[in-house]
Amino acid sequence: MRSPEIYQAAQAAGIIDEYRSAKGEVLTVSDENITLLLAAMAQAPAEETGPLPRVRVFTRRRGNRIAVSRGGSWQLISEQGRCWRGSVEHGGEIKLPASLPLGYHGLILMVQEQQWHCRIIIAPSRCYQPAELKAGEKRWGVMVQLYTLRSANNWGIGDFGDLQQLIRQVADWGGDFIGLNPLHALYPALPEYASPYSPSSRLWLNINYIDVPAVEDFQLSSSAQRWWRSEKTQRQLDAARETQFVDYTAVSTLKMTALRHAWHYFCKRDEGEDERIAFAAFIEQGGDSLWQQAAYDLIQAEQAGGDGSGGDWQQWPAALRQGNSDAVKAFCQPRQNALEFYQWLQWLARRQYDRCWQVCLQSGMTIGLYRDLAVGVAQGGAETWCDRELYCMAASVGAPPDPLGPLGQNWCLPPVHPKVLQARGYQPFIDLLRANMTSSGALRIDHVMSMLRLWWIPKGKSADHGAYVSYPVDDLLAVLALESQRHRCMVIGEDLGTVPQQVVSKLRRSAVYSWKVLWFEQTAADRYRAPSRWARQAIASASTHDLPTLEGFWTRRDLQLGAKLAMYSDAGVYPSLLEDRERQKQALLNALHHAGCLPASAGKNARRMAMSPGLRRGIHLFLAQTESALLGLQPEDWLAMHLPVNVPGTVDEYPNWRRKLSQPLDGIFADKEIKKLVMAVDRRRRSRGPAR
């Protein structure tokens, strides 16, 4: 029996003491694990109480009231500056004016000399959707990991210059968006820490994506040009471009050397020049957040050793472990020029990304850039360094055990404290959305179930010792809808895996688009969902960065790779997975024939069929026929690539987040077979009948 004290404490903290396993069993979280999570949460400052709530969120415009536990006078100031005043009795309610517009407003209750503040958020009930999608039209686009792009111009990693080229070509072929991996800030001093899903900060950009030759100060700097044109530099550039996997150390060394040359030139510009004025405005707009990001990168560059030691702020000298401390300011003061260099890099990245967005608009795309918001940040990154109260450092998030992972998954990402988030009027969540929705037509939220609940794991424990912690899902969805409408940025929720029906319904009502992956769209072991039965409010795709490519799936190379990496602890798992795959392949082949996506003369025995251009085309047409409003295609599938970009559950066993595309962009777009395939998809998306 659970003690009443533990139960009440868990309820108050939002810890869910029971959960349903992947097998459907109801499991109880132990008192010990709850106690450990309560201790992790207790590191945050105690929640203040008062006669007013700290924040109230409404998705309707009329009849809204705020209950108060003390009488006094009140003042309501709208986001636009309009003011209302009144008084309220002890235990009464403040009736909000029906004319209060959508947005963020401030309510103040005054009792003698005391004041209490409440943020009032009036939000729409649904996220933004382009008119074309609401009218029933369908769109397709290309989903890429930006770093995988090859070109004759990049420096060994896909960059914003490559992205412009990709946008123009995809738009020319009829595509409407480019889906990107998270572009979040990583670690300039630790280039091999390359996972886009373990970022330093989700508020700023990865500076490795800067297209260096496009930087004006690089072009104008004579020292930069001499360095760039030297035989040694050209050999290093050629070597970086030719590798099968991104050599992050080589790329970062080249780019940082070039950009320091460019920075020295920029610093000599007159302060009245447009570029200097624009940079100064960027610094002012970025405020403390930009300063702290630059300070983090600067200090990490000084503290990090060649072996990666000292890269985590928790390993720095004690005086430098708090991002907003006086000691950090004192450290940075004599290094002002170096700090501004890192701010300048963020300015360059932001300008080049914004230019990509303008190219989307000029190309007539409805959606354009579709960004990816990671579920969290690394424990030793800039965000946790800047805001120790918001993140629970004595816990991490992950996933509970399932048949393929009996100990569950630990992602080593510290969770946001839901009570602190709420006490701040959801401002950290608002800032996060604004940083990622600006100059974007769509935002994918990784692990969207995190808005309802997250699997917390106590520090030092394996994932099977965790528990779900609740988040204020209705409030978060309302804020999401408000920012979505303001930015005209639609929202896609990554809802793969076991998703509670509660969150499925809420997402649907909020106009958050689902994600439907071909491999999971089976209604039975021997049957795939017909294209006409796919969800409309969704994006369809063959695969994801964590799942096999078409080639990998059909040849079973993904399973062979898993066996090679010793990922199957039970000897019987691998043969069982191979047999399951053969059933999946046969079911898919049957579905392709039934949907008219393969000619009648095509083979009907999956075991005897190799992947071929005709089969590849049939799968693409099947996806193009689905009712889902959006369709995301992967260049890996056009190129018959079988190696994945990421193998879940591995760290050093496989070169995750490094594998490039097998062909450069020019070669892809000059390939007549690829163009023929994509044109067939474009026609199918625009038509209503069966494939021919």
- pLDDT tens by residue, 109-125: 999 999 999 999 999 99
- pLDDT tens by residue, 174-223: 999 999 999 999 999 999 999 999 999 999 999 999 999 999 999 999 99
Question: What pLDDT was estimated at residue 46?
Answer: 64
Element (H, E) at 369: strand 368-373
Q: Please say whether the beta carbons of 7 and 13 come within 8 A.
A: no
Q: Please say whether the beta carbons of 591 and 525 come within 8 A.
A: no
Determine the average pLDDT of the residues in 304-329.
90
Give, in order, the Cα–Cα distances in Å from 58 to each of 125, 215, 404, 474. 9, 46, 41, 9
Give, in order, the Cα–Cα distances in Å from 232 to each of 98, 235, 236, 246, 354. 69, 5, 6, 20, 33
CA distance 140 to 625: 11
Is the per-residue pLDDT at 403 higher than 80?
no
- What is the band of 684 on the pLDDT scale with cuts at 50, 70, 90? very high
CA distance 234 to 240: 10
CA distance 217 to 273: 13
Give, in order, the Cα–Cα distances in Å from 492 to each of 18, 356, 442, 445, 631. 29, 21, 7, 6, 12
Least confident of 47-56, 145-154, 435-444: 47-56
Distance of CA 504 to the CA centre of its chain: 19
- What is the band of 688 on the pLDDT scale with cuts at 50, 70, 90? low
- pLDDT tens by residue, 36-80: 999 999 876 666 678 999 999 999 888 899 999 999 999 999 999
Q: Count the Cβ atoms, other than its own, within 10 Å of residue 350.
A: 18
CATH topology of domain 145-169+187-363: TIM Barrel (3.20.20)
- Taking the domains of the chain in order of start, what are their residue ranges? 60-122, 145-169+187-363
Question: What pLDDT was estimated at residue 473?
Answer: 97
Q: Count the Cβ atoms, other than its own, within 10 Å of residue 658.
A: 20
Residue-averaged pLDDT of the chain: 95
CA distance 482 to 479: 5
| pTM (two decimals) | 0.96
CA distance 637 to 677: 11
378: helix, coil or strand? coil
- pLDDT tens by residue, 244-290: 999 999 999 999 999 999 999 999 999 999 999 999 999 999 999 99
Is the per-residue pLDDT at 407 higher than 80?
no
Distance of CA 384 to the CA centre of its chain: 17
- What is the band of 691 on the pLDDT scale with cuts at 50, 70, 90? very low
CA distance 236 to 255: 11
Token pair recorded at residue 628: 């889902």
Q: Which of 15-19, 399-403, 537-541, 687-691 has the highest mean pLDDT?
A: 537-541
Percent of all residues in the chain with a pLDDT value above 90, rounded to a whole number = 88
H runs (alpha helix) in 173-247: 216-220, 222-229, 231-242
- pLDDT tens by residue, 524-548: 999 999 999 999 999 999 999 999 9
Determine the Cα angle at 474 with ends 496 and 73, to 5°. Answer: 160
- DSSP string of 87-107? EE-TT-EEEPPTTPPSEEEEE
- pLDDT tens by residue, 343-352: 999 999 999 9
Burial of 648 (0-12, 13-18, 19+ CB in 10 A): middle
Provide the CB-side half-sphere exposure for 31 (13 A, CA): 8
Residue type (1 letter), 595: A
Residue 409 pairs with which residues in a beta bridge?
A: 399
- pLDDT tens by residue, 467-511: 999 999 999 999 999 999 999 999 999 998 778 888 899 999 999
Alpha-carbon Rg for the chain, nearest whole angstrom, is 26
